[in-house]
Amino acid sequence: MSELPNCPKCGCEYTYEDMGLIICPECAHEFTKESLSQDEDKQEVVKDASGNILESGDSITVIKDLKVKGTSLVVKVGTKVKNIRIVGGDHAIDCKINGIGAMKLKSEFVRKA
């Protein structure tokens, strides 16, 4: 039996092949092995509020007060964050903020320092 890749949309490992397509039973996403290799070639470009391109390792500054969900903490305007990591998805910036801890931020609320 051949090893099929996990679903790129939800990460499900129970994919199956039907008529040349690989199908995910959990989210019903259909894809081919060729489309997976094309997706790996594409790099998601993440831009800050000013339109500057952000890369992993950059330093950023928060431009808006951000409430931390589930707590009474607030990330204040002007908070500087060093050594960010770019990840995919809606919250594209993964970072560690002093006094708060690990967080994911949206790129629209930060500016490259």
Place of tokens 């970072």: 95
Amino acid 62: pLDDT: 97
- Residue 54 · residue 47 · CB < 8 Å: yes
Rounded to whole angstroms, the Cα distance separating 31 from 22 reads 5
Average pLDDT over residues 38-55: 80
The residue type of 7 is C
Among 78, 76, 109, 80, smallest CA distance to 92 is for 109
pLDDT of residue 75: 96
- Kind plus residue range of the DSSP H or E element containing 75: strand 74-75
pTM surpassing 0.75? no
Q: Read off the tokens for 103.
A: 């967080």
- What average pLDDT does the chain have? 89
C-alpha distances (whole Å) from 79 to each of 8, 65, 75, 88, 109 are 34, 9, 7, 23, 11
Which carries the bigger pLDDT value, residue 89 or residue 106? 106
Residue 40 has pLDDT above 70, yes or no: no
